[in-house]
């Protein structure tokens, strides 16, 4: 069988997490329209009769390293390229952006086979423009394959999956056939809560918060989850809680629904909001909240 690791890379908000979820046939990476939603290296496993593809969803690579959190995101994305067999570089649209030049250099250093996947192709009306873009792209880098896709609508994902599986080395399975990620349910629950916060709150606030599971109790008929939402300022705490606690209730309801679907069991969830000043620019504080470079 063919088996190996596949890194999904690209700028923030190009659809890497959506692509990952479609490829593994289950939602394990949180998504939103806001950039930098993914903060950790997420591993997703898809096992078929042909073999096992182990996908690594990464934070989007970006220029800004002003805060400790930004530096952590870039380190996590870059170290994912170590030890993989294939790289899928996801871009959106038929143009290059400023930071793509940095990615070109990283790909040259990695020396690995690269598939260029152009996402959101459903929005491109002129199909000849796709062919012209691919012809120009091949002059910039020796891509192994180039393919237009829509991660959201599933366009050409079967073809992409087939290309990946054929490129993977021959190997025994690394993970059991029924395993879909290496992350525990506790971690996934925290991510789901953060996704609901990100989707419901304004543009700036999601970057100033993180979620920590304080207790995760599994009982025969119910799982009880007690989570802390950390923000950086008191004013942010008030926004997350909302008028008479309405925002926090909505986030809890949204999260409970998705977590129940994930674990197949009734869920009770309790959320608190606390302030940890400047946590996103404090390496030690970030480590205590579960941010590490593993």
Domain boundaries, the chain: 2-167, 185-288
Q: How many residues does the chain have?
A: 294
3-state SS class at 21: helix
In DSSP terms, 224 is beta-bridged to 217, 268
* pLDDT single digits (tens) 28-82: 888 877 777 888 888 999 999 999 999 998 877 766 667 888 888 888 877 878 8
For the chain, the distance separating the N- and C-terminal CA atoms, rounded to the nearest angstrom, is 28
Task: Say if 2-167 and 185-288 have the same CATH topology.
Answer: no
Provide φ and ψ at 137, rounded to 5°: -65, -35
Render each residue's pLDDT in the chain as its tens digit; 294 residues: 899 999 999 888 888 999 999 999 988 888 877 777 888 888 999 999 999 999 998 877 766 667 888 888 888 877 878 889 999 999 988 989 887 888 898 899 889 999 999 998 888 888 899 999 999 999 999 999 999 999 989 999 999 999 999 999 999 999 999 999 999 999 999 999 999 999 998 776 777 899 999 999 999 999 999 999 999 999 999 999 999 999 999 999 999 999 999 999 999 999 999 999 999 888 888 888 888 755
For 2-167, CATH gives: 3.40.50.300
* pLDDT single digits (tens) 253-262: 999 999 999 9
How would you classify residue 245: left for phi > 0, otherwise alpha for psi between -120 and 50, otherwise beta? Answer: left
Name the CA dihedral angle for 164, 167, 172, 177, rounded to a multiple of 10 degrees.
10
| Percent of the chain that is helix, strand, coil (3-state, to 5) | 40, 25, 35
Six token digits for residue 133: 């873009």
What is the side-by-side strand order in the sheet with 222-231?
A: 210-218, 222-231, 266-275
For 185-288, CATH gives: 3.30.300.20
Per the CB < 8 A criterion, the answer to whether 251 and 200 are in contact is: yes
Q: pTM score > 0.85 for this model? A: yes
Per the CB < 8 A criterion, the answer to whether 255 and 213 are in contact is: no
């Amino acid at each position: 069988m063919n088996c190996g690791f596949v890194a999904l890379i690209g700028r923030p908000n190009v659809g890497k997490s959506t692509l990952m979820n479609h490829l593994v046939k289950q939602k394990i990476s949180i998504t939103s329209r806001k950039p930098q939603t993914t903060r950790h290296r997420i591993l997703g496993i898809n096992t078929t009769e042909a073999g096992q593809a182990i996908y690594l969803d990464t934070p989007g690579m970006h220029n800004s390293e002003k805060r400790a959190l930004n530096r952590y995101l870039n380190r996590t994305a870059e170290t994912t390229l170590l030890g993989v067999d294939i790289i899928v570089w996801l871009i959106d649209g038929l143009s290059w952006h400023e930071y793509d030049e940095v990615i070109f250099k990283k790909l040259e250093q990695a020396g690995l086979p690269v598939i260029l996947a152009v996402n959101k192709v459903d929005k491109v009306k002129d199909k000849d423009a796709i062919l012209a873009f691919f012809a120009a792209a091949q002059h910039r880098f020796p891509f192994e394959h180039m393919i237009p896709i829509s991660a959201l609508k599933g366009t050409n994902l079967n073809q992409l999956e087939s290309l990946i599986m054929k490129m993977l080395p021959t190997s025994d399975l690394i993970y059991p056939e029924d395993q879909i990620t290496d992350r525990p349910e506790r971690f996934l629950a925290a991510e789901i809560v953060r996704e609901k916060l990100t989707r419901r709150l304004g543009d700036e606030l999601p970057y100033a918060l993180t979620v920590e599971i304080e207790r995760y109790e599994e009982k025969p008929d119910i799982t009880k989850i007690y989570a802390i939402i950390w923000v950086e300022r008191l004013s942010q705490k008030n926004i997350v809680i909302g008028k008479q606690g309405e925002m926090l209730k909505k986030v809890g309801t949204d999260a409970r629904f998705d977590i129940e679907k994930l674990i197949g069991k009734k869920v009770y969830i309790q959320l608190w909001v606390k302030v940890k000043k400047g946590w996103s620019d404090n390496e030690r504080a970030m480590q205590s909240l579960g941010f590490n470079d593993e």
